[in-house]
Amino acid sequence: MEIAKPYLLFLGDVQDQLAAKTAMGIVDWRPEWCVGQLRLAGCKADTGLPDLTIAEAVAKGAKTMVVGVANAGGVLPDHWVTEIVAALEAGLDVATGLHKRLNAIPSIAGAATKHHRKLHDVRFSDVSFATGKGTKRPGLRLLTVGTDCSVGKKYTALALEREMHKRGLSCDFRATGQTGVLISGRGLALDAVVADFISGAAEWLSPDNDPRHWDVIEGQGSLFHPSFAGVTLGLLHGAQPDAFIVCHEPTRATMRGVKHPLPSIAEVIERTVLEGALTNPQIACTGIAINTEHLSEEVAMSYLKETAEAHGLPCVDPIRTGVAPLVDELIRRYGR
């Protein structure tokens, strides 16, 4: 899948910043690919990019309009279709990571055909996956896991890959969600895989490798989330991580989209080791990543210190402090 760049990021009229996490991820990790954002009336998310019309984006050289939204159920609201058709008519390709296929909407499919434009449904893969086998394969693997959805699993994995490359370690970021695919240009959206084949898809994503090579695998959902734990467990079994990092957002009282309380970090560590041992008995937690965005500097640094001491593990905020201590721990345990 080759998606033409640069991008115009479409945010629609989403009601909070987290709903635009796809767009935010692209801006944070690939800002050079973005010319601006397109928001509808009532939109409450903002990437910080210039607000552009479709015509203005085309004039600035945009090639693809990316629907930069990740909403519950991956739906494409009917009132966004007009904007997508207008983008196609203006000469832009369109990419989305939503569950609704673009070419399944007649007006969008017709406009793409008429104007010779490409439609990219990055959530869907044309690869046929086998069921997971659970056989230990060579290479080292790290998985980010979470106390909830949208707590920083992708950002932590990308930050780890960047820091590991700086240290000269052999590693690759393995995207398992639509935003990660748009950022890295490869990977697959695991939540679109038929349930029986999730672990097999994870095995396919992180195949046999050099014994010293790290696959840094983007986590999905949470083992404690009643909506998404099935995907999380399949990924855990297929990834067979040697190491995992727990990601947490400390200001939430309940899990995103449901009324269930967040589990503790200790509970996530315990259950991840318990479930992960099925395919890798040597699985171990090697660090903690905290999203301290909503904490002051003083409170954040105190929280990181207290959490590290409580669990006997390095604890960082990948954005505020960087992830060097997490990589130090990996080198200490597994070598270079």
- Written as tens digits, the pLDDT of the chain (336 aa) is 678 999 999 999 998 998 898 899 899 988 999 999 999 999 999 999 999 999 999 999 999 999 999 766 667 888 999 999 999 999 999 999 888 889 999 999 999 999 999 999 988 887 899 999 999 999 999 999 999 999 999 999 999 999 999 999 999 999 998 888 888 878 888 988 999 999 999 999 999 999 999 999 999 999 999 999 999 999 999 999 999 999 999 999 999 999 999 999 999 999 999 999 999 999 999 999 999 999 999 999 999 999 999 999 999 999 999 999 999 999 999 998
pLDDT value at residue 72: 63
Task: Say if 282 falls within a structural domain.
Answer: yes
**Do 236 and 263 fall into the same domain?**
yes
**Do 223 and 267 fall into the same domain?**
yes
From CA 191, how far away is CA 316, in angstroms rounded? 28
**Do 165 and 242 fall into the same domain?**
yes
Task: Say if 233 falls within a structural domain.
Answer: yes
**Do 64 and 187 fall into the same domain?**
no
**Do 63 and 101 fall into the same domain?**
yes
Task: Say if 127 falls within a structural domain.
Answer: no
Task: Say if 133 falls within a structural domain.
Answer: no
Tell me the whole-structure pTM to 2 decimals: 0.84
Task: Say if 183 falls within a structural domain.
Answer: yes
Give the tokens for residue 83.
């904007």
Of the residues 121, 156, 180, which one is the last residue of a structural domain?
Answer: 121
**Do 107 and 146 fall into the same domain?**
no
Instruction: Specify the number of domains making up the chain.
Output: 2
Task: Say if 191 falls within a structural domain.
Answer: yes
- Domain encompassing residue 166: 140-334
Give the tokens for residue 202.
């994870």
CATH number of the domain to which 238 belongs: 3.40.50.300
Nearest to 305 by CA among 314, 296, 293: 314
**Do 183 and 303 fall into the same domain?**
yes
Cross-sheet strand order for the sheet of 214-217: 171-174, 214-217, 140-146, 243-248, 284-290, 315-316
CATH number of the domain to which 91 belongs: 3.40.50.720
Which DSSP state fits 242? S
Q: Which residue has the tokens 């986590």?
A: 219
Task: Say if 68 falls within a structural domain.
Answer: yes
Q: What are phi and psi of 289, to 5 degrees?
A: -120, 125
Give the tokens for residue 285.
């937690």
**Do 156 and 292 fall into the same domain?**
yes
**Do 109 and 159 fall into the same domain?**
no
pLDDT value at residue 10: 97
**Do 147 and 259 fall into the same domain?**
yes
**Do 115 and 145 fall into the same domain?**
no
* 207 and 201 Cβ atoms separated by less than 8 Å: no
What SS3 class is residue 287?
Answer: strand
From CA 143, how far away is CA 56, in angstroms rounded? 41
**Do 51 and 163 fall into the same domain?**
no
Of the residues 121, 152, 170, which one is the last residue of a structural domain?
Answer: 121
Task: Say if 134 falls within a structural domain.
Answer: no
